[in-house]
Chains A and B, each alone.
Chain A
């Protein structure tokens, strides 16, 4: 447990909500998932990488063009059915 967090009050219990359909898209390839709304999104993303056989650290996940805070869940990220997560590979430029 991180020290700074221990003093905090436990947040109010969130209602258990049904699943949400999320599309994960990479270079035109789309995969649909039904995923629990209040489980952190990172688990889904790691699962995706495992299935696609890609290194989790080699890619970036974007929702509406912005980097996803992977510790959050679909509710916190404001995701609704049909929302899409874009998978982008890092562009390394030495120039």
Chain B
């Protein structure tokens, strides 16, 4: 399959959604038996800033540079597609930025609390998302990146998600056993 066809197929994964209108897009990254997290931030139109790609890694193991390059080409591919198809009635990003978007994408490896074992990466990714949703402003500004850091939360807080999720699952399974479980319509 050529590149264009496969991208068109891939686009069904976010069917009907204009990613540039979103404030944040979470991309969990999996490579070499490890999970880390990318957050694509689309600033306010008035901020005259391009998208910012953040990489959060609880082990600092993934090679951010190659992840940034993949995410960047994903953003550019989608941007090219929307430009080509002229499907946007209104630009979600300031005109002058939109026209040369490929040169206006920023990337930042953010310092985050680190896991102290070799099995909590998935929990950290989930906890990064939970905390970020709680604390992030409606739209990120560059100066907001200071919200992260090694002291963002205690590593134990992320690790304790295991218990929380496990009891959640137990409840759900119990409900299913009792026949209370309703499939979504």
A interface residues, Cβ below 8 angstroms from B: 2-5, 25, 28, 62, 64-65, 69, 71, 84, 91-95
Contacts and interface: CB of A to CB of B under 8 A. Distances in A.
Q: Which 6 A-B pairs have the closest CB atoms?
A: A95-B121, A4-B179, A65-B13, A93-B35, A91-B30, A95-B34
Given A64-B15, A93-B34, A94-B33, A69 B183 contact: yes
A87 B118 CA distance: 28
Interface residues of B, number: 25
Nearest to B1: A28
A95 B61 contact: yes
Contact of B58 (A3, A71, A91, A95): A95
Main secondary structure of the interface of A (DSSP, over half): loop
Interface string B144-185: 000000000000000000000000000000000011110100
- Candidate in A2, A3, A93, A95 with the most chain B CB atoms within 10 angstroms: A95
30 contacts: A2-B179, A4-B178, A4-B179, A4-B181, A5-B179, A65-B12, A65-B13, A65-B15, A69-B183, A71-B183, A84-B9, A84-B12, A92-B33, A93-B33, A93-B35, A93-B121, A94-B33, A94-B34, A94-B118, A94-B119, A94-B121, A95-B33, A95-B34, A95-B35, A95-B59, A95-B61, A95-B115, A95-B120, A95-B121, A95-B122
B15 A93 contact: no
A57 B20 CA distance: 35
B119 A3 contact: no
A69 to B, nearest CB: 7
B178 A95 contact: no
B128 interface: no
Interface string B58-86: 11010000000000000000000000000
A95 B1 contact: no
A94 B33 CA distance: 6
- Candidate in B9, B12, B122 with the most chain A CB atoms within 10 angstroms: B12
